[in-house]
């Protein structure tokens, strides 16, 4: 499909790293031209409520409500309901704040009333005043399963309950084969002037999105350049177990390792100054590369990284993606 | 069935008034000899959660966690989740506190897993350290419907949302005909040395319990005396719309009016000093009567009223119901 009109950007997103990039991206791309496709592989049910950690991290961040220090949940939240659940002998390792529960109650009630996750997410987005379109990767359930030496567990069990202590043998996306991309998702990729892979875990954040039939294929055949922001800084990730996971699954946690994972659709990569040494090799492999400080420790740094992504995309597509 | 062994007491209970009587009763009757049968006619679903206001008022009161000033909910509760639900455009007239939500989440999850309300209530009772047995009147759904000139509404809509402003034409107990008493409830009445009707609204608190087939009949044929504590003080109730409701439904809000409602099974009544003038008439009608200050404004007053109930019951049954 031919792109036309004003440039549109689509971003494949996990949690915190993606949210920080998007915090900058929304300063540069008007909401109506930005579509965020969010991982739902680590959605889970706690106390009967449907929790979508990545959707919430992104919407809370873009609405300025996120607890950026904790990295998830809402600012100034309290944990009174959870303490009471503990009194009833329920497991409380997944920290659900009281304000946060309002979101999960809203979502769960509407899902039980047969609304789609897309529709609920859109209502949530509007209520929180977020301008960008936010799509779950699918309205069908896909669950990321982590296999370690001692067995299989849900992603939240692995990450939060067990604190990602065990080495990972394999990652599976249960339900992915039967899942359909959310409505409008494939069209958003087809109509995009730029597709961005956020600096998120390639296996448990971006991997589930790519496992939904049709999405990876759409990126491959897209007219738009596909630019990844590396979540790695000198062989380590800022947050989360992506570096160890890459190693455990046979990938070197360096930009070329990441490029190999996304190789079939990737056109460019934004990497950190610490990984400058890999730029030439990535370019040799045909990728456009931008090198800068990628640590998005402030809104200003988020905007700088987002700008680098858009500039790299502009170079690739020979079309200015930056609003004047 | 013949009573044997140590005296047992069963109390039919609504919300706040009942909880205050029970707060005193538990000082005089050991938990293992006290069964509380609780109204579930005003149970309702809010934000997808099953809320049992009377069960919670009683368990929170008996565990010392109740917000006695508000009259419902938990002490020092916050309302962060509700504020968030309001942000999503949900109705927030039913004040659900954050700690309170822990209870509703616990209950709702277990009910969805096909546990009975009796089983969940017993787990809740144990978690909160309440010694008395607490039974919902039924594990089957019974809903109190209030009919006014402008239509029908649930009890919570009538009381909380619409603030009991409209005059009541009729009260119906939807689902009552098909409901079965909770397991052990009829046996508890049969084995009781004393049955007590708490000072609760006769139409919307005690009425739903009596509407469950078998319960009223069990009270009628019980060996044990049945003693009601009048919720009226000089023609008014301490809390709630029972006085106006009695008038609207053709009953004088005075002890004889109450005696008429419970007439087929009643053996005695505890009335307030303000209603002293009615004592003789009640006695003429064959009832045992005790007259005292029934306003349970403190734990000490609760115990005094409970003691009067047990003494009246002892007189009726010629058996001491008070632990030495």
Q: How far is CA A282 from CA A275, A276, A286, B263, in A?
A: 11, 10, 7, 91
Place A1 in a pLDDT band, splitting at 50, 70 and 90. Answer: very low
- pLDDT tens readout for residues A199-231: 999 999 999 999 999 999 999 999 999 999 999
Q: Which of B48, B81, B100 sits opposite A109 (nearest CB)?
A: B48
B102 contacts in chain A (CB < 8 Å): 80-85, 87-88
- pLDDT tens readout for residues A40-84: 999 999 999 999 999 999 999 999 999 887 778 899 899 999 999
pTM, rounded to two decimals: 0.92
**C-alpha distance from A119 to closest chain B C-alpha (Å):** 13
- Half-sphere exposure (Cβ direction) of A32: Cα atoms closer than 13 Å: 2
Asked whether the beta carbons of residue A127 and residue B78 sit closer than 8 angstroms, the reply is no
- Taking 80 as the threshold, does the pLDDT of residue B213 lie above it? yes
**C-alpha distance from B160 to closest chain A C-alpha (Å):** 21
Place B238 in a pLDDT band, splitting at 50, 70 and 90. Answer: confident
> Sign of torsion, CA B49 B53 B58 B64?
positive
Residues on chain A bordering chain B, Cβ-to-Cβ distance under 8 angstroms:
47-49, 74, 77-78, 80-85, 87-90, 97-103, 105-106, 108-109, 112, 123-124, 127-128
- Taking 80 as the threshold, does the pLDDT of residue A234 lie above it? yes
Q: Which of B88, B109, B128 sits opposite A127 (nearest CB)?
A: B88
**C-alpha distance from A132 to closest chain B C-alpha (Å):** 18
Query: Domains plus CATH for chain B?
Result: 9-141+176-317 (3.40.50.10680), 143-174 (no CATH)
Q: Which of B99, B108, B109 sits opposite A84 (nearest CB)?
A: B99
**C-alpha distance from B172 to closest chain A C-alpha (Å):** 27
> What is chain A's mean pLDDT, rounded?
94
Is residue A141 packed enough to be buried (19+ CB in 10 Å), middle (13-18) or exposed (0-12)? Answer: middle
Q: Which of A98, A106, A109 sits opposite B80 (nearest CB)?
A: A98
Residue-level pLDDT at B114: 96
B101 contacts in chain A (CB < 8 Å): 81, 84, 98, 101
If we measure between CA atoms, which residue out of B127, B163, B132, B128 comes closest to residue B148?
A: B163
B293/B305 Cα distance (integer angstroms): 8
**C-alpha distance from A151 to closest chain B C-alpha (Å):** 26
Asked whether the beta carbons of residue B81 and residue A99 sit closer than 8 angstroms, the reply is yes
Q: Which of B90, B97, B102 sits opposite A106 (nearest CB)?
A: B90
A48 contacts in chain B (CB < 8 Å): 105, 108-109, 112
Q: Mean pLDDT throughout A160-178? A: 93
- pLDDT tens readout for residues B32-64: 999 999 999 999 999 999 999 999 999 999 999
**C-alpha distance from A163 to closest chain B C-alpha (Å):** 25
Q: How far is CA A152 from CA A171, A173, A245, in A?
A: 9, 12, 15
Asked whether the beta carbons of residue B84 and residue A78 sit closer than 8 angstroms, the reply is no
Q: Which of B85, B106, B128 sits opposite A102 (nearest CB)?
A: B85
- pLDDT tens readout for residues A277-323: 999 999 999 999 999 999 999 999 999 999 999 999 988 887 788 76
Residue-level pLDDT at A243: 92
Residue-level pLDDT at B2: 46
B80 contacts in chain A (CB < 8 Å): 77-78, 80, 97-99, 102
3-class DSSP state for residue B120? Answer: helix
A128 contacts in chain B (CB < 8 Å): 87
**Residues A59/A53, Cβ–Cβ less than 8 Å:** no
> What is chain B's mean pLDDT, rounded?
94
Residue-level pLDDT at B1: 43
**Residue B76, token pair as written in the block:** 């020092």
**Residues B268/B308, Cβ–Cβ less than 8 Å:** no
Percent of chain B at pLDDT above 90?
Answer: 86
Percent of chain B at pLDDT above 70?
Answer: 98
Asked whether the beta carbons of residue A89 and residue B47 sit closer than 8 angstroms, the reply is no
Residue-level pLDDT at B240: 84
Asked whether the beta carbons of residue A100 and residue B84 sit closer than 8 angstroms, the reply is yes
**C-alpha distance from B58 to closest chain A C-alpha (Å):** 17
Mutate to test the interface with A, among B49, B82, B99 (most CBs of A within 10 A): B99
**C-alpha distance from A102 to closest chain B C-alpha (Å):** 4
Is residue B165 packed enough to be buried (19+ CB in 10 Å), middle (13-18) or exposed (0-12)? Answer: exposed
Q: Choose between A265 and B76: higher pLDDT.
A: A265
Asked whether the beta carbons of residue A80 and residue B90 sit closer than 8 angstroms, the reply is no
If we measure between CA atoms, which residue out of A79, A146, A140, A77 comes closest to residue A111?
A: A140
C-alpha of A173 from chain center: 15
Q: Which of A99, A127, A128 sits opposite B80 (nearest CB)?
A: A99
Residues on chain B bordering chain A, Cβ-to-Cβ distance under 8 angstroms:
47-49, 74, 77-78, 80-85, 87-90, 97-103, 105-106, 108-109, 112, 123-124, 127-128
**Residue B103, token pair as written in the block:** 């209870």
Asked whether the beta carbons of residue A102 and residue B89 sit closer than 8 angstroms, the reply is no
**C-alpha distance from A291 to closest chain B C-alpha (Å):** 41
Q: Choose between A84 and B167: higher pLDDT.
A: A84
């Amino acid at each position: 499909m031919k792109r036309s009109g004003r440039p549109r950007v689509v971003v494949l997103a996990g949690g915190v790293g993606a949210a920080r990039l998007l915090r900058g991206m929304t300063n540069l791309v008007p909401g109506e031209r930005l579509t965020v496709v969010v991982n739902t592989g680590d959605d889970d049910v706690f106390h009967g409520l449907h929790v979508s950690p990545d959707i919430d991290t992104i919407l809370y961040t873009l609405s300025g409500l996120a607890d950026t220090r904790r990295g998830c949940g809402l600012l100034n939240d309290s944990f009174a309901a959870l303490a009471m659940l503990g009194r009833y002998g329920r497991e409380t390792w997944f920290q659900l704040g009281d304000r946060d529960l309002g979101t999960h109650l809203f979502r769960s009630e509407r899902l039980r009333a047969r609304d789609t996750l897309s529709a609920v997410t859109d209502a949530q987005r509007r209520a929180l005043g977020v301008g960008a379109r936010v799509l779950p990767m699918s309205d069908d359930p896909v669950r990321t399963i982590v296999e370690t030496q001692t067995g299989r567990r849900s992603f939240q069990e692995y990450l939060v309950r067990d604190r990602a202590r065990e080495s990972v043998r394999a990652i599976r996306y249960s339900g992915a084969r039967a899942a359909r991309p959310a409505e409008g998702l494939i069209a958003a990729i087809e109509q995009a002037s730029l597709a961005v892979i956020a600096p998120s875990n390639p296996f448990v954040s971006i991997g589930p999105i790519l496992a939904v039939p049709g999405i990876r294929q759409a990126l491959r055949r897209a007219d738009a350049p596909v630019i990844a922001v590396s979540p790695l800084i000198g062989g380590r990730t800022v947050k989360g177990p992506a570096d160890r996971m890459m190693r455990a699954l046979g990938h070197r946690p360096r930009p070329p390792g990441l490029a190999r994972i996304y190789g079939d659709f990737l056109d460019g990569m934004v990497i950190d100054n610490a990984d400058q040494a890999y730029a030439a090799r990535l370019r040799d492999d045909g990728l456009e590369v931008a090198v800068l400080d990628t640590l998005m420790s402030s809104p200003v740094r988020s905007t700088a990284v987002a700008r680098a992504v858009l500039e790299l995309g502009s170079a690739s597509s020979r079309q200015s993606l930056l609003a004047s």
